[in-house]
Chains A and B, each alone.
Chain A
Amino acid sequence: MATAVRSRIRTLKIDGRDVSAREDETILELAEENGIFIPTLCRIEGLSLVGACRLCLVEVAGMNKLVPACLTYATEGMEVFTDSERLRNYRRMILELLFSEGNHICAICVSNGKCELQALAQRLGMDHVRFANLQQERLVDMTHERFVVDRNRCILCARCVRVCDEIEWAHTWDIKGRGVDARVITDLDTPWGESDTCTSCGKCVRVCPVGAIVEKGRAVGEMAKRHDFLPHLAKMREAKK
Chain B
Amino acid sequence: MTKQIVIDPVTRIEGHSKITIQIDENGGVTDARFHVTQYRGFEKFIEGRPFYEMPGIMGRICGICTISHMLASAKATDRIMAVRVPETGHRLRQIINLASIIQSHALSFFHLSSPDFLLGMESDPAKRSIFGLMQMYPEVARDGIRLRRFGQEIIEWMAGKRLHPTWIVPGGVASPLEPEVRDRILATIPEIYVLLQRNLDWFKRKMEDYAQEIRTFGNFPTMFMGTITPKGELDLYDGHLRIVDDRGHMVEPSFKAQRYADYIGEAVEPWTFMKFPYYKPMGYPDGIYRVGPLARLNVIDSCGTPRADQEWAEFRQLDRRVVLSSFYYHYARLIECLYAVEKIEMMLDDPDILGKMVRANAGPNSEEGVGVTEAPRGTLIHHYRVDEQGRIVWANMIVSTTHNNMAMNRAVQQVAHRYVDGNKLTEGMLNRVEAVIRTFDPCLSCSTHAQNELPIQYELVGPHGEKLDEVTRG
Contact = CB atoms under 8 A, between A and B. Distances in A.
Contact of A217 (B60, B363, B389, B391): B363
A220 B52 contact: no
Contact of B52 (A107, A143, A216, A221): A216
A142 interface: yes
A222 interface: yes
Interface residues of A, number: 19
A222 B391 CA distance: 19
B174 A219 contact: yes
B170 interface: yes
B174 A217 contact: no
A235 interface: no
Nearest to A219: B169
Interface string A133-152: 00001011111000010100
B166 A142 contact: no
Given A219-B55, A219-B56, A107 B164 contact: yes
Contacts of B170: 217, 219
Interface string B41-73: 000000011101101110010000000000000
A216 B50 contact: yes
Contacts of A139: 48
A233 to B, nearest CB: 29
Contact of A219 (B48, B52, B391): B52
A108 interface: yes
Interface string B164-184: 101001100010000000000
A17 interface: no
A143 B388 CA distance: 9
A143 B50 contact: no
A148 B49 CA distance: 11
Interface string B134-176: 0000000000000000000000000000001010011000100
Contacts of A140: 48-50, 391
B176 to A, nearest CB: 16
Main secondary structure of the interface of A (DSSP, over half): loop
Contacts of A176: none
Interface string A207-241: 00000000011111110000000000000000000
A69 interface: no
A81 B11 CA distance: 54
B310 interface: no
Nearest to A142: B389
Interface bracket on B: 10 to 19
B52 A108 contact: no
Which of A110, A137, A141, A217 is packed against the most chain B CB atoms within 10 Å? Answer: A217
B395 to A, nearest CB: 15
B50 A148 contact: yes
A143 B389 contact: yes
A218 B51 CA distance: 11
B49 to A, nearest CB: 7
A167 B50 CA distance: 29
B447 interface: no
Interface in A130-180: 137, 139-143, 148, 150
A216 B389 CA distance: 11
A217 B56 contact: no
A218 B56 CA distance: 10
B60 A108 contact: yes
Nearest to B173: A219
B50 A220 contact: no
B335 to A, nearest CB: 34
A60 B52 CA distance: 48
Contacts of B56: 108, 219-220
B361 interface: yes
Contact of B53 (A110, A141, A143): A110
15 contacts: A107-B60, A107-B164, A108-B53, A112-B166, A137-B48, A139-B48, A140-B391, A142-B391, A143-B389, A216-B52, A218-B52, A219-B166, A219-B169, A220-B56, A222-B166
The 5 closest A-B pairs by CB, nearest first: A220-B56, A142-B389, A220-B166, A219-B169, A108-B57
